[in-house]
Amino acid sequence: MVDKVGRNTRSKLIGFVVNLIDNKTIKVKVPKIIRHKLYEKTIRRSKNYLVHLSDNVKVEPKIGDKVQIASCRRLSKNKSFRLASIIN
């Protein structure tokens, strides 16, 4: 049996808009906090994702907005996320 993955079961991340690259792409920084394995110190890490903006986005995000992104099929070499919603 093959389980089909729907849109609601895909991974979702929350981050902040860092850069508006062109009219259909934004760069989102997603921070995460991890613990060091040996010393157990809290370490802040972040990763930047290129996010696709579809044509039916009602409000375009601005730099500094908090957004939720969802994984999707690979759209280009670096883009594999789409904008799910603008939180703030």
pLDDT digits (tens, 9 = 90+) for 38-69: 999 999 999 999 999 988 888 899 999 999 99
Give the predicted TM-score (pTM) of the model: 0.84
Residue 28 lies in a domain: yes
Into how many domains does the chain fold?
A: 1
Residue 40 lies in a domain: yes
Residue 5 lies in a domain: no
Distances (CA, A) of 57 to 23, 32, 61: 11, 27, 9
Distance, C-alpha 18 to centroid of its chain:
11
Residue 58 lies in a domain: yes
CATH number of the domain within which 38 lies? 2.40.50.1000
Sign of CA dihedral 60, 62, 68, 69: positive
3-12, 61-70, 72-81: which has the minimum mean pLDDT? 3-12
